[in-house]
Each structure stands twice: as C-alpha cells, then as structure tokens.
Structure 1
Amino acid sequence: MLNIIHGADFHLDSPFSGLSPERAAQRRGEQRDLLTRLAQLAREKQADLVLLSGDLMDGETVYRETAQALSQALGGIPCPVFLAPGNHDCYSPSSVYATLDWPDNVHIFTTPAVEGVDLPQFNCTVYGRAFCSPHETGSPLAGFQAAEDGRLTLACLHGDTAPGSGYGPISQEEIAASGLDYLALGHVHQHSGLQRAGRTAWAYPGCPEGRGFDELGEKGVLLLHAQPGQVTGEFVPLCRRRYQDIRVDVTGSDPLDAVLNALPPATEEDIYRITLTGACTAPDLARLQRALAPRFYGLTVRDETRLPQDLWQRREEDSLTGLFLREMEQLCAKRPDDPVCRLAARFGLAALENGEDICP
C-alpha cells in the first residue's frame, strides 16, 4: 500500500487583484510558504509519491525566487515527485520547467504524448504528459490504456472532465477505458472527492489556497492510499487563509448587530464577503466597513436589502417625505425590475430623514 499526496493548481505568483498591493504581496509570499507546508506534510505522512497535476504557476511570468522556492521545496521531499505542466504553466523550451535546474527526485513530464515511468521499488508505473500550449481541444487520454501487468498504475494529468472544454477534455468513458488504478487530475479548483469511472478512481484535489470568492472554504491536497485494484483517499487542508461568503438578514435589526451575531468566533485570518439581505431603510455600508474591518484579513460588504413595505405607507403624509414616496412608488411600479429605482427611493428617503446623503 503506497501513501500518495496529490496536489494541483497552486497558481504561484497570482496577482490577488482584489486586495491592496501590500496584502497582495503578502499573499504571494504565503503561497510560497505553502510549498514548505507541502514538504512537511509529505514527511509527516511518510509519502511514497507526490503527484502534482499542473498549474503550479499562474502564468509564464514567474518571480525567480518563486521558481527557486518551488525547486527547493520539492527537492526537500524524501520521495519521487511527478509534475505534469498545465495550461497556465505549459511546458516550452523557455518555460521555468526547462530553464531551471530541478532536483533529482523531481520528474517533469515534457511531451504532449503520455509517457510512463516505471518504479520497480513500488511495483508501480506513473504515467503523465504536459500541456505544451495554453489551450488543447484534444483529450489527453485519447486512445490510452495502461499496461496490464499487475502493477499499480497511476496517471498525473491536467485536464477537464467538462464536455467540450478547451483545456484537455476527458470523458468518463476514456477514464474507464484507461485501465488506471488512479487518475490524478488538475484544472478544477474545487475538491471533487474520490470519483470512479469503471474500475478507475479519479479526483481533483482543488487548489490548495483560495484566491477569490469563487474559491471558498478549506483548500488543500489529497492523501491517497493505493495498491493495485484499491484506492482510498482523504482531503487534507493546507491553506493559510480562507475566502468565506455569508449572507445576513438584517430585517428588524441594527445591521452591525445582525452581522456580529452571524459571525463565527475566529475570522481574523480570513477574507470575507458579507451580503446584507432582508428589509432595511438604508444600511450605512461605510460605517459597517469601518466597524468590521479590524475583525478580518480582508472584507467586502454588499447591500442587497429592500425597502420595508411599511415605509410606503408614509406616502399619504402631507410632507416632503410623503410627496417623494408617492413619486417614487409610481416610478418603481413602471420599472419593477430596475434596481436603480429602488436604490433611488432608499437613498432619497435616507437623505430626507437624516439630512445627509448615504452612499451605497
């Protein structure tokens, strides 16, 4: 039984454009620290193999210290490491995979054709191939079938199981026909869980560090236990920070109190997007941002609340507020799907009631 770590989609040197320049630089440094955590995990779990299924880099432009940190970290893993370049870090004669000296324990797949590497000490064969351009419409597994020789058969590939993808589309039928014991995939940033097609187990580990609100929650790698005909696995969190997205109903409450009551105990290390919902006159987002920001590494507050129904009852008042609400009610009735009308009613009412403008 082999212990195998499967990781992918590190996207080192990502821009982190949603953060301040200082925080973005810090996050890129934390990405490099991820490499050290990967090496530590390999030692702690006594990994026999590490499979890295592409997009370790975010693009062709890589800081030299990042590439050196990757090489050093992989060289510190006391077992063979297999790396299959993906669409973001595709292999070429000018890529970092060709121009940097890599440790002896690291095997980088460099051709678009699948090749196999025999590991007799493990009674195992590891297959793999490389993206050699940013887009590939052909399947990496087209016509492939692993040798049937009683060995454990693994493949390390970057590809997409979504039909019609331009990033190495792979069908369930091709996975089932491959004869592999395990297919280690990269490209999808959400952990897939261990899947099966025929006798072949396959999975995406997801990215090990979230970079935006489309990559929420815990991120990490897979720890697999494999022998011919049998593969089991578990997800191992590895991320330094998490992106979290919560919605808070502020109906009948002070928005700040409602948000504080909805938060978990520890949020300081993470990046949150908080969306206000329910019925509310005009939440002061600037006030909320100032009050809540110290509780998070990063914070975005959004307003999706609606005007309370009872406010429209004031349209009968003989006042400027009543006149304003009568006009706005007619406008909103004519344009029911226009959010600008509702915003105009909300902020106009807030200005009349409070004597000042409230910015969204």
Structure 2
Amino acid sequence: MPKFLHTADWQIGKHFGGFEPDDAALLAKARIDGIRVIAELAAAEQVDGVLVAGDVFDAQTVADKTIQQAFRAMELYPGPWLLMPGNHDAGLIESVWTRAQRLGAVPSNAVLCLTATPLLLLDGNVAVLPAPLTQRNTFADLTEWFEDAATESGVIRIGMAHGSVQGILHDGIDSANPIAAGRAASARLDYLALGDWHGTAQIDARTWYSGTHEQDRFRGNEPGNVLIVEVEAGQEPRVRHVRTGRHQWRQLNTRLQVASDIEALEATLETLSTTDVIELTVAGTVDLASHERIQRAVSRAQGRVLALRWDLAGLQLLPSSEDIASLRADGYLADAIDELRIAQTLDGAADDLARDSLILLATTMRSVNTSGAAA
C-alpha cells in the first residue's frame, strides 16, 4: 500500500517580529531544523513521497541563503518531495520559486508543483493533482479541475490544495482561497492533502489539514504534527499523526497579590527549558524591591528558554517605607516619589510614564547610593 508524508505551512523565513532579534533568529532556525526532522522521519517510515501542501516559504522576499538552507535540509530523504505554492509563496510569474530555480537550489528529487497538472508517481499507479495558488488570494475554487481530471481505473488519486474548506473551519477563516466541502468525494479522491490551517484537523474521512510542522503562534489548535498516510484506490486512507514539533508555546498570565505569588512566579520560571517559547504577562501591585526581584527572575528565564516575550506593564509600583528609606529619599525626592506613585492610578499613558519614571528614579538613586558607599 503506498505511503506518503503530508505536511504544510512551513513558512520558512518567518520573521517573528514580536520577539527580541536573538529569539526571533532561533525561532526561524527551528523551522528549518524541522525540515530535517521531517526528512529523517520520511526516510525511517520509507514513504513513497512527501506532500507539502503550500506555504513552504513565508514570503516572496526571503533571503537567498534561506532558500538554500531550506532545500539543503531535505537531503536526508532521497525520495520525491512535492512542493506546492500557497498564499504566502504563490507561484507568481516572478516568485521565490523561480528564484530558487535560478539559484540552482532545487534538488533533482524535489518537484515544484507550479501548475495545475497531474503528476504520476510509482510507475503511474498514483496521480497527484495539485491546485497551486498563482496569486496570494483568489475567490475561485482552484480544486474544481480535480473533478474533470481523468485517470485510469485503479489509479490512486491524491489532491493537494491550500485554502479554506467552506463552512467547516472557525475563527472567520472562510474568505479567500475557498475549497468546496466534499471535494474529495465529488472529485473521486482517495486523499486530499490540505494546507493553510496551522493545526492538524480532519475534515472528512479522506480530507485532512496536516498543520504546521513546528508551532509558530500561541494557539492551541494541534500544531506541530505531520501525517503519515497509507492510501489505496477506493478505500479510506489510514492516517496517523506524528509529532515533529520540538517546541511548546505557552502563555503565562500572573496577577500578583501577596508575597507568595512572587515566589510561585519564580518557581514557575525556574521550571522552563530550552524547548519552551513563552509569553509572560504579569500584573498586580508590588513594591520596588519586589519589582526588581521579578525583573531578575525574567532575566534568568531569558537564558533558560528558546524565546521569551514579556509584558510587565500591568504592574503598579507602590514604594514601601523600606523602599524609600533604602533610597535615602527625603525632601523633594520623597515628594516626587509620592507624586509618581499617585500618578500611576491615572488612565492612559500617564500611568505607564509614572511607573517607568519610578523605576528609572529608583535605579538611578540605587546606583548613586552604591557609588557613594563605595567611595
């Protein structure tokens, strides 16, 4: 029984602009490393081909080096790779695909599915019908031609498409690049390999989204998988999930109310590892000493995880008498600290400015006091 690996939405070259530059670079590298994981799996499973259902690249403008790295990462699987354009890397007249060809980056076992033309595999026993996007958005169903595509009796029919199955997916995804529900049945497909939805999802017995191979956003919709598909003409395919994602994206939201909450936050951050991608949001009311303690814990966590973005804007600073005493603030400085503390209760940008000013003032005064003590 022929066996294929179905994957999609690699989006190689994604920038991850919401992260610090060093973290963003590691996240981008993880996506290319994920291709090597897929190649190793494809070789171990002895599949008859890898179906990549669109969005191999994140944009037409990815660097030449990124293109070369993506194709080099496929080396561990010598069988056929069928790569199809999606909305991020549409097969335009001049595109990332034509650039890859000019660079000589495309290996001989990689088939670029740039036109709606049947591709025969396994001595003609399998026909792959691709529906490549030739522009970013289309409002026509590019899978319609599957129904008129003639194949000989007994030939396995596999469709590849990138878009939204109408009336099925949530989050308002029914827009551009539509795919008719029931297309697998109407086009007599034995399997329909889809891309665009970044989570693994079964649409019907013969239609699946593989999802992205490595999670790339804070959304729990079953990302980080590929599908191993065994298919036989006229039979329902056997589909098996295989986890390829190595990184877990987690959102940590904490509101600090008592001292033990800070200890709990520190303990949580200490459990993180290099496989974690973290979005940390901390709110509540703390004194200056506690704020510095939190900042140290976040700094340590930065060195522990793959990537971390944090938001401490929800923290309101309430300097304690010990804080003020340690800063040796009296007279005008004590009044300024009190005014900044009160200003944090205002709405809008004023409270952010007051909080940031308190932090800057405290840092500066501690530095001055330390230098004075050393002298």
Output the TM-score relative to the length of structure 2: 0.72
Work out which of the residue numbers 130, 139, 142 in structure 1 matches 2:141.
139
Coordinate RMSD, CA, aligned: 4.0
Which residue of the partner structure matches residue 108 of structure 2?
104
Does residue 170 (structure 1) correspond to residue 179 (structure 2)? The answer is yes
Does residue 269 (structure 1) correspond to residue 275 (structure 2)? The answer is yes
CA contact (8 A) 1:135 1:166 kept: no
SS of the residue aligned with 1:227?
A: coil
Cα distance per residue 1:18-51 (max 9 Å; x no partner): 2333333343333333322221111111111110
Cα distance per residue 1:222-255 (max 9 Å; x no partner): 2222223121222222234332113345444433
Q: Which runs of 5+ in 2 are unaligned?
A: 168-172, 317-334, 364-375
Which residue of the partner structure matches residue 80 of structure 1?
80
Which residue of the partner structure matches residue 204 of structure 1?
209
Q: How far 1:132 moved relative to its partner?
A: 0.9
SS of the residue aligned with 2:10?
A: coil
Q: Structure 1 residues 77 and 305, CA, compared in 2 at 3 Å: closer, same or farther?
A: same
d(CA) in 2 for partners of 1:288 and 1:103?
47
d(CA) in 2 for partners of 1:291 and 1:68?
35
Q: Structure 1 residues 270 and 217, CA, compared in 2 at 3 Å: closer, same or farther?
A: farther
Q: How far 1:69 moved relative to its partner?
A: 2.9
Q: How far 1:356 moved relative to its partner?
A: 5.7
Q: Structure 1 residues 120 and 290, CA, compared in 2 at 3 Å: closer, same or farther?
A: closer
SS of the residue aligned with 1:65?
A: helix
CA contact (8 A) 1:6 1:222 kept: yes
Give matches, 1:45-124, under 5 Å.
45-74=45-74, 76-98=76-98, 99-100=101-102, 101=104, 102-111=106-115, 114-121=116-123, 123-124=125-126
Does residue 195 (structure 1) correspond to residue 203 (structure 2)? The answer is yes
Q: How far 1:221 moved relative to its partner?
A: 1.7
Return the letter of the residue paired with 2:200. Answer: S
Give matches, 1:158-307, under 5 Å.
158-162=162-166, 165-189=174-198, 191-196=199-204, 200-214=205-219, 219-228=224-233, 229-248=235-254, 250-262=256-268, 265-276=271-282, 280-281=285-286, 284=291, 286-302=295-311
Q: How far 1:67 moved relative to its partner?
A: 1.9
Q: Structure 1 residues 281 and 22, CA, compared in 2 at 3 Å: closer, same or farther?
A: closer
Q: Structure 1 residues 29 and 287, CA, compared in 2 at 3 Å: closer, same or farther?
A: closer
Which residue of the partner structure matches residue 335 of structure 1?
none
Which residue of the partner structure matches residue 127 of structure 2?
125
Q: How far 1:274 moved relative to its partner?
A: 2.4
d(CA) in 1 for partners of 2:4 and 2:59?
27
Q: How far 1:288 moved relative to its partner?
A: 4.2
Return the letter of the residue paired with 1:65. Answer: K
Return the letter of the residue paired with 1:42. Answer: A
Q: Structure 1 residues 246 and 267, CA, compared in 2 at 3 Å: closer, same or farther?
A: same
Q: How far 1:188 moved relative to its partner?
A: 1.4
Output the TM-score relative to the length of structure 1: 0.75
Q: How many pairs align?
A: 332
SS of the residue aligned with 1:115?
A: coil
Q: Which runs of 5+ in 1 are unaligned?
A: 308-319, 333-337
d(CA) in 1 for partners of 2:272 and 2:315?
30
Return the letter of the residue paired with 1:296. Answer: V
d(CA) in 2 for partners of 1:157 and 1:356?
58
CA contact (8 A) 2:57 2:88 kept: yes
Q: How far 1:303 moved relative to its partner?
A: 5.2
d(CA) in 2 for partners of 1:71 and 1:268?
26
